Amino acid sequence: MDQKAKNILFKTFWSSQGWTENGLQKIDPADFEYAKSAGVMFDPLTTSKAALFSQLNELINVIPPKKITDAFLNSLTNKKLEWRSALASYANAKRVLADPDSSQDHIRWGDPVDLNVLNFERLKWGGVRHFSGLYNWLDLSLFNKEEIPGPDGQMTGLLQAILDTIARSQPGDTPGKLRDDLKNAFNVSKNERDTLMETLGAAGIIRPLRTDRKEPGKHDWHFVLHWRGEDGYDHEVVAEYFGQYGIR
């Protein structure tokens, strides 16, 4: 990835004080054109639900599942969070396509959408809107251009350690407790562990078995909100994605 273009994108939305609020975001037109030419920033997109679903379907059919899982495993050591994001987008895109009536209320069809903030979130955190078909489309479209090497033993060992930590959870453990416990197996920032869990949740690996559990007062959980330690993880889904590497 062109580092200059990435820096332009990041400076548009982020500073040492955090988010740059809407209306205060500024970018030099020449910088914007440079970042566009590098495939990192984009003009506003106006689309329809039919067009989005058609493009998602094409991406799901053209991207090999092994490329998705290899990218996830690589991301555990190379810190390319956008590679990690693809697993969640791949799984959610299939979910959206299976239910054409699924809610996409966050998309105003026919209105221009800023794809740049989505790509910023994708590169900085590995995505935060995996529930969005539009994000899934952008994520997978960009991911489809990547060359992904095969994983090594360190990568597969890290994922197995993460899964073993989930399996050791106590019945009443909350997502927040699991996030803290994961630090021993995957010593990264709290935010990165948050997004890792949401990615595994979107993929159906961390899957709540009930949805009537009390929500915490303040949270950013979506896919794993109702998960508890007694739910563990779905071994069949893990085998489907990662069984070829002996991960169960």
Residue showing tokens 């058609």: 54
* Number of H-type helices and E-type strands within the chain: 11, 2
Residue found under tokens 């690589």: 74
- Greatest alpha-carbon span in the chain: 55
Of all residues in the chain, the percent with pLDDT exceeding 70 is 96
155-178 tens-digit pLDDT: 999 999 999 999 999 999 999 999
How far is residue 87's CA from residue 203's CA, in Å, rounded to a whole number? 7
Is the model's pLDDT at 110 over the cut of 50? yes
Q: What percent of the chain has a predicted confidence (pLDDT) above 90?
A: 83
| pTM of the predicted model as reported, rounded to 2 decimal places | 0.93
- Which is nearest to 81 in space by CA: 46, 130, 44, 39? 130
Residue whose structure tokens are 């595994």: 200
| pLDDT for position 197 | 97
pLDDT digits (tens, 9 = 90+) for 38-64: 999 999 999 888 899 999 999 999 999
pLDDT at 83 over 90: yes
Residue 76 CA to residue 174 CA, distance in Å, equals 23
- Beta carbons of 12 and 25 less than 8 angstroms apart: yes
- Average pLDDT on 111-131 reads 94
Query: According to the model, what pLDDT value does residue 225 have?
Result: 95
CA distances to 90, 148, 182 from 83, rounded to whole Å, are 11, 9, 20
Q: Is the pLDDT of residue 90 over 90?
A: yes
Give pLDDT, residue 108. 63
In this prediction, residue 103 carries a pLDDT of: 57
pLDDT at 102: 65
Q: What is the pLDDT of residue 105?
A: 47
User: Taking all residues of the chain, what is their mean pLDDT, rounded to a whole number?
Assistant: 93
Residue 211 has pLDDT above 70, yes or no: yes
Reported as a pLDDT band with limits 50, 70 and 90, residue 24 is confident
Q: Are 12 and 118 in contact (CB under 8 A)?
A: no
| Average of per-residue pLDDT across 1-25 | 87
First and final CA of the chain: distance in angstroms? 33
